[in-house]
Structure 1
Amino acid sequence: MPRYLVQRLLQAVFVLWAAFTTSFVVLYLLPGDPVSIMASGGGDTNDVSPEQIAELKRVYGFDKPLVEQYGDRLWHALRGDFGISVQSGDPVTRLISGQLPATLQLTSAALLLATVVGAGVALAATYTRRRWLRQALLSLPALGVSAPTFWVGLILVQLVSFRWGLLPAIGNEGFGSLILPAVTLAVPTSAVIAQVFARSLRTALAEPYVETALAKGASRRRVHFGHALRNAAIPPLTVAGMLVGNLLAGSVIVETVFSRTGVGRVTATAVTAQDLPVVQGLVVFGALAFVLANLAVDLIVPLLDPRITGGAATAVSR
């Protein structure tokens, strides 16, 4: 187990370094002058004086050689310092952390809802003996994956908020304002979980141990929700950890559609204004969230299958 954990931690460190390096290359080595773009706010770069450009280059370190820029930014990033936002003048870390609670609330609610709905659809589809119901349930994930997130959000706003007046359409005030954005964000995620879980359950139910358990007198319900469920849980659990990145990306659209404050809105604003320090900080933050989610999955999965960490081999040797 310690060796398994060390390997996962080293992989996490590599992913964070790769995210930082890639974002640096993409944002700071692209053709054109990023300082002029930032100084003009995305407008006409001819309106910016050479003195303003020179001062911004000095403040943000763009006047240094690229290798030195990379080293300085990496060193400051290791201490949690991603620089100053060009647009607002606030430290990037403070800007992101100030909006983080609202986005964490949204993505956590969406992930919980997606897991419950996706697992429920998969379990019902593989347990029912009615062919038409099974086919109907298995068709839902394909529909959920193909539906654009912004379209789902707009439909919910039109029906639930404007026509029926059941829930607020915009804002962050109260639990009611969280429901529609969470449902919108959960739709494609729950569809993926349902697809993977249903396929995994069908594979598990076709294994010889299922026939053996039934032959020994175990009930169909016990075999389905006991033996097969545990063995089939690993693939959807792994996928759920990977989908955290999709949830963060989807929050950009959802927070815009529902006019919610959060990291998603900060991302949209920073990309529009080409606020490079904020964009790079957001890229690393997204990689950190992805890494932490997958580390959690890596620690949970061995509890379901000890063979992953070599526990089975150890047990045999004993």
Structure 2
Amino acid sequence: MSERLLSGVLVLLVSATVTFFALRLTPGDPVRAVLGGPTAAPTPETIAMAIAEFGLDRPLYQQYLIHIGRLLQGNFGTSFSQHQPVIDVIAEQIGPTLTLTASAIVVAWILSIASILATTRRNRIVSGIGSAVETVLASLPQFWLALVLLAVFAFGLRWFPAQSNGGISGLVLPSLALALPLAGFLGQVTRESFELSLDQPFILSARTRGLGDWSVRWRHALRHAMLPGISLSAWAVGSLIGNAVLIEIIFSRQGLGRTLYQAVTVQDMPLTIGVTLVVTLIYVVASLIADILFVVVDPRLKGKAT
């Protein structure tokens, strides 16, 4: 666990470093973002004051060291574009993104488990259909799927709102856009482990005790087949938040993804770095939770985890 924590700290440091230099080397004038964007017309005196205030006149390595020092103190700075502390902006936007991510993972697991239990080792046709559906879902681009869901179920059938309204109905289509491809991946990696579990001696023992097929699948085989899916879910957290950029824009949702896109567009360096670090931190925490779930699902891994 200590090694995992150390690697998490290193990941955060690398993320902050790469983001800082990528933004500083990007063509454009960050001073314009500080002073109101490309449409602003500041005076030379105002530009000089802004450069001095934010330390943009210092050598790049000094700016980096000051930046890392502030981050270590928990100071994310002030957003250039929104003119408020970065931590306050993130606090306002993190809730919708975490809700969307969590709902997508839950829906993806429900769909993948239902597919596996219903189709694996039934017969060649049913099993083949289940595997084919998972393959198709895994290959779907999430932004394209979001547009299709929006066109069919929002503009066509009018079952759900086109724009997120903050309620459950506004969460359905964005969650499905993220969850369906993930369900395909989860189904693919879990199906193989599930088939291997069905061949284990403890399954035969359970059947000889008179347990029904569904009971054997649900209570015994599935538990041992979930480990690859749990590992994939930890990776999926970072991927889902990254893909939430387009999903939140398409469905006009508030969230970290949309905020990150807007910050990068106007070269708002403090906000971009702050959001990137928070997303990285969420991924690190998800990996730690996955390690804990490994032990919960299979206690035999406890010695290896420690």
Give the TM-score of the pair, scaled to structure 1. 0.86
Tell me the CA shift for residue 121 of structure 1: 1.4
What does residue 12 of structure 2 align with? 16
Are residues 1:237 and 2:230 paired? yes
Are residues 1:35 and 2:51 paired? no
CA distance in 1, matches of 2:166, 2:208: 56
Give 1:293's match in structure 2, choosing from 266, 269, 286: 286
Counterparts of residues 163-202 of structure 1 (less than 5 Å): 163-202=156-195
Could you report, residue by residue, the CA deviation over 1:170-190 in whole angstroms, capped at 9, with x for unpaired residues? 033322111111111211211
CA distance in 1, matches of 2:12, 2:270: 16
Counterparts of residues 258-277 of structure 1 (less than 5 Å): 258-277=251-270
Are residues 1:225 and 2:218 paired? yes
Tell me the CA shift for residue 64 of structure 1: 2.4
Could you report, residue by residue, the CA deviation over 1:154-176 in whole angstroms, capped at 9, with x for unpaired residues? 22222212222211110333221
What does residue 147 of structure 1 align with? 140
Indicate conservation of the 8 Å contact 2:120/2:130, yes or no: no
Is the partner of 1:160 in helix, strand or coil?
helix
Code of the aligned partner of 1:94 = D
43 and 310 in structure 1: CA distance in 2 versus 1, 3 angstrom threshold: same
157 and 205 in structure 1: CA distance in 2 versus 1, 3 angstrom threshold: same
Tell me the CA shift for residue 51 of structure 1: 4.2
Tell me the CA shift for residue 68 of structure 1: 2.6
123 and 61 in structure 1: CA distance in 2 versus 1, 3 angstrom threshold: farther
Are residues 1:249 and 2:213 paired? no
CA distance in 2, matches of 1:154, 1:35: 33
Indicate conservation of the 8 Å contact 1:41/1:273, yes or no: no
CA distance in 2, matches of 1:91, 1:39: 13
Are residues 1:117 and 2:111 paired? yes
Tell me the CA shift for residue 286 of structure 1: 0.8
CA distance in 1, matches of 2:26, 2:232: 37
Counterparts of residues 66-81 of structure 1 (less than 5 Å): 66-81=60-75
Number of aligned residue pairs: give it: 306
Could you report, residue by residue, the CA deviation over 1:171-227 in whole angstroms, capped at 9, with x for unpaired residues? 333221111111112112111111111122123234455456556766544443333
What does residue 301 of structure 2 align with? 308
Could you report, residue by residue, the CA deviation over 1:83-103 in whole angstroms, capped at 9, with x for unpaired residues? 121112121111111111121
Structure 1 stretch displaced more, 207-216 or 231-240 = 207-216
Tell me the CA shift for residue 299 of structure 1: 1.2
Residue identity over aligned pairs, in percent, reads 33
Could you report, residue by residue, the CA deviation over 1:123-171 in whole angstroms, capped at 9, with x for unpaired residues? 22314x2321211111112211222222212222222122222111103
Structure 1: which 5+ runs fail to align? none
Are residues 1:132 and 2:106 paired? no
What does residue 271 of structure 2 align with? 278
What does residue 101 of structure 1 align with? 95
Is the partner of 2:120 in helix, strand or coil?
helix
Counterparts of residues 42-81 of structure 1 (less than 5 Å): 43=38, 51-81=45-75
Give the CA RMSD over aligned residues. 2.7
37 and 202 in structure 1: CA distance in 2 versus 1, 3 angstrom threshold: farther
